């Protein structure tokens, strides 16, 4: 111990520097009066690395879009004048899925210990809306191509597989156009908006044939021509009729019960049955009498 009343003057100092490392603690100006011999045993000041925790932010994007910026938060604050170098990276891949966000080249100077907490970039499916086009055809015709529009655009190199279908049936009516096998790869969500195929009646024009007969004869068969042709397997039912009457004159030939099934629209063009006068030849019988007699009956 020092003699009562004596004390140190001055203070210790250390080797200059603020980076991580070991710095000697020196005697500096520490001193005693001339009554003492001061023996100094030094020590060190050790500067340790500052721990910075970097936490990556979770990110997401839609398939086909550009990557968002990979960002992060960190704590505690850096020493004034210090900054990060480099950047985060992520595991490669562009298909729908989850990809790790890695530290990449993100770094600090050797005065820091960087603790990294990762996150994920999630790539979500791209939604494509497919809208079927409404279609129509005439009974008996082949189906038109089933087409569609879609939005937004597909990613370059991608395409649809499969095709639309429709509800079965060939009679006049409305048939739903369905998604069928139309599909996209697993990077898409396909939303389908349907439409209908409408089958319309086929128009058949029936033209009655003009007919004639002689008064007193039986009616001829009432016939007709038609166009276009019927669908295979279909046929007319019923028959034409005519206005009643057997005297000489003109009688309209009507559609009567002539008909087709509900898949047709029948347009009828009429004609006439003409009854002509019957020609009768009368031949008088030659007669004779004796002078003075009465005339014989005149016969034929």
Element containing residue 98 per DSSP (H, E): strand 97-102
**CA–CA gap between residue 287 and residue 148 (Å, rounded):** 98
SS3 call for 34: coil
**CA–CA gap between residue 246 and residue 214 (Å, rounded):** 10
Give, in degrees to the nearest 5, the angle at Cα 158 between 155 and 164.
115
For residue 30, say if its preceding peptide bond is cis, omega within 30 degrees of 0.
Answer: no
SS3 call for 176: strand
DSSP string of 37-55?
------EEEEEPPEEEEEE
**CA–CA gap between residue 88 and residue 56 (Å, rounded):** 8
**First-last CA distance in the chain:** 188
Phi and psi for 58 in degrees, rounded to 5? -65, 140
Residues 6 or more apart whose Cβ sits within 8 Å of residue 150: 128, 129, 130, 131, 160
Would you state the structure tokens that stand for residue 84, as one six-digit string? 């990060």
The full set of domain ranges for the chain reads: 13-47, 50-124, 129-200, 203-276
> C-alpha 182: how far from its chain's center?
9
Question: For each of the chain's 300 residues, which pLDDT tens digit applies?
Answer: 999 999 999 999 999 999 999 999 999 999 999 999 999 999 999 999 999 999 999 999 999 999 999 999 999 999 999 999 999 999 999 999 999 999 999 999 999 999 999 999 999 999 999 999 999 999 999 999 999 999 999 999 999 999 999 999 999 999 999 999 999 999 999 999 999 999 999 999 999 999 999 999 999 999 999 999 999 999 999 999 999 999 999 999 999 999 999 999 999 999 999 999 999 999 999 999 999 999 999 999
SS3 call for 94: coil
Among 85, 72, 82, smallest CA distance to 116 is for: 72
Give, in degrees to the nearest 5, the angle at Cα 259 between 253 and 261.
165
């Amino acid at each position: 111990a020092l003699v009562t009343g004596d004390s140190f003057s001055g203070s210790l100092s250390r080797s200059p520097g603020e980076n991580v490392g070991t710095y000697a603690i020196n005697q500096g100006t520490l001193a005693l009066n001339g009554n003492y011999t001061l023996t100094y045993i030094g020590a060190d000041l050790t500067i340790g690395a500052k721990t910075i925790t970097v936490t990556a932010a979770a990110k997401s994007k839609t398939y086909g879009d550009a990557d968002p910026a990979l960002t992060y938060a960190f704590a505690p604050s850096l020493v004034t004048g210090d900054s990060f170098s480099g950047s985060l990276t992520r595991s490669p891949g562009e298909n729908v899925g989850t990809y790790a966000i890695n530290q990449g080249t993100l770094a600090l100077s050797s005065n820091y210990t960087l603790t990294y907490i990762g996150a994920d970039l999630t790539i979500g499916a791209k939604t494509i809306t497919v809208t079927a086009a409404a279609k129509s055809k005439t009974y008996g015709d082949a189906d038109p191509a089933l087409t569609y529009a879609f939005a937004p655009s597909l990613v370059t190199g991608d395409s649809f597989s499969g095709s639309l279908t429709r509800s079965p049936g060939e009679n006049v009516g409305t048939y739903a156009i369905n998604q069928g096998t139309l599909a996209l790869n697993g990077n898409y969500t396909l939303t389908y908006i349907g439409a209908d195929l409408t089958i319309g009646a086929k128009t058949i024009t029936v033209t009655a044939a003009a007919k004639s007969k002689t008064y007193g004869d039986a009616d001829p068969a009432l016939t007709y021509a038609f166009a276009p042709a019927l669908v295979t397997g279909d046929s007319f039912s019923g028959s034409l009729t005519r206005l009643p009457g057997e005297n000489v004159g003109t009688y309209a030939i009507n559609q009567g019960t002539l008909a087709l099934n509900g898949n047709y629209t029948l347009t009828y063009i009429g004609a006439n049955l003409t009854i002509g006068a019957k020609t009768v030849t009368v031949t008088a019988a030659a007669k004779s009498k004796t002078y003075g007699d009465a005339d014989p009956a005149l016969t034929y």
